[in-house]
Structure 1
C-alpha cells in the first residue's frame, strides 16, 4: 500500500505533520511518502495571478504526489477555526487544475492542537467538504492536548485509548 501523509500546515515544527507521520508508520508494510507543504511553492491565489502564470507548478507537483498514493492520511491544523492559509492556498490552486484533488482515494482525516479543542472545527469542515474533492473519508479522529498525549522524544502517542482509536481508524483504509 502506498501512503501519502501530511499535516495541512507549513510550520517546520507542525504537530499535525508529526501526527500524520506517526499514523502512516503504523500501517504495516506500507510505502510512505510524507509531504511537506513548503515543498509546493505557489503564489497567493487570485484569478488575475492564474491568468498571468497559468497552472502553478507547486500545485501540479502536489497533485502528482497525491496521484502516487493508494491512500491518504491528512492531519489538519487549525488557525482561528479554519484551515491554515498555506494549505488553503495550495488547495485552491490544486482545485483549479483538478477539482477531484484527492482522486477518489480512501483517507483518514486527523487533527490535533495543543489545546482542548483538538482542531475539531477544521476537521469537521474538512470531512464535510471531502466528497466534493474526491476524498473517501473512511475514519477521522481529533486529538486534543497534543503535548499531553504524544511523546516527541519517542515519537509515539502515550494515551493508550487514543492510540487504539487511531489504529482502529487506520484499519478502515484496508477494508473494502
Structure 2
C-alpha cells in the first residue's frame, strides 16, 4: 500500500508535516511518500489567469503525484482559522483540473497547532468538504498543544491517548 502524506503547509519546519509523516508510518508495511508542497509552483489563482495560461503545471504535477497513492494522510495547518493561503491556492488550481482531487481514495485528516485548539477550525472545514473533492474520509484527529505531545528528537507522539487515537485511525485504511 502506498500512502501519500503531507502537511498542508509550506513551512520547512511544519509541525503538520511531522504529524502526517508520523501517522502515515504507523501503517505497517506501507510505503510512505511525504510530499513537500513547495515543490508545486503555481501562480495566484484567478479565472482570468486560468483563461490566459490554462492549467498551472504545478497543479498538474500535484495531481499526478496524488494519483499514485492508495490512500492519504493529510495534516492541515491553520492560519487564522483557515487553510494556509499557499495550500488553498494549490488546491484551487488542482480542483479546476480534477474536481475529485483525491480520486475517491481513503484518507485520514489531521490537524495540529502549538496551542490547545489543535487547529480544529480548519480540520472541521476540511472534513466537511472532503466528500466534494473525492476524499473517502475514514477518520479525522486534532492534536492539541503539539510541542507538549510530540518529541521532536524521536519524531514520536508522547501522549498515549493521542497515539492510540492515531493508531485507530490508521487501522481504518490499513
TM-score, normalisation: structure 1: 0.98
Can you list the C-alpha shifts for 1:92-123, whole angstroms capped at 9, x where unaligned? 00011000000001000000000010000000
* C-alpha distance in 2 between matches for 1:33 and 1:169: 18
Note the residue ranges of structure 2 that are not aligned, 5 or more in a row.
none
Can you list the C-alpha shifts for 1:18-39, whole angstroms capped at 9, x where unaligned? 0000111111111111001100
Aligned partner of 1:8 in structure 2 is 8
SS across alignment from 2:118: coil
How far off its partner does 1:151 sit? 0.4
Aligned partner of 2:59 in structure 1 is 59
Aligned partner of 2:152 in structure 1 is 152
Asked whether 1:166 is paired with 2:166, we answer yes
Aligned partner of 1:87 in structure 2 is 87
Matches within 5 A, 1:1-176: 1-174=1-174
SS across alignment from 1:7: strand
More divergent stretch after superposition (39-48 vs 22-31): 22-31
How far off its partner does 1:137 sit? 0.6
* C-alpha distance in 2 between matches for 1:151 and 1:10: 21
* C-alpha distance in 2 between matches for 1:42 and 1:147: 31
How far off its partner does 1:155 sit? 0.3
Name segments (4+ residues, structure 1) moved above 6 Å. Answer: none
- CA-based RMSD of the aligned residues comes to 0.6
SS across alignment from 1:136: strand
Report how many aligned residue pairs link the two structures.
Answer: 174
Note the residue ranges of structure 1 that are not aligned, 5 or more in a row.
none
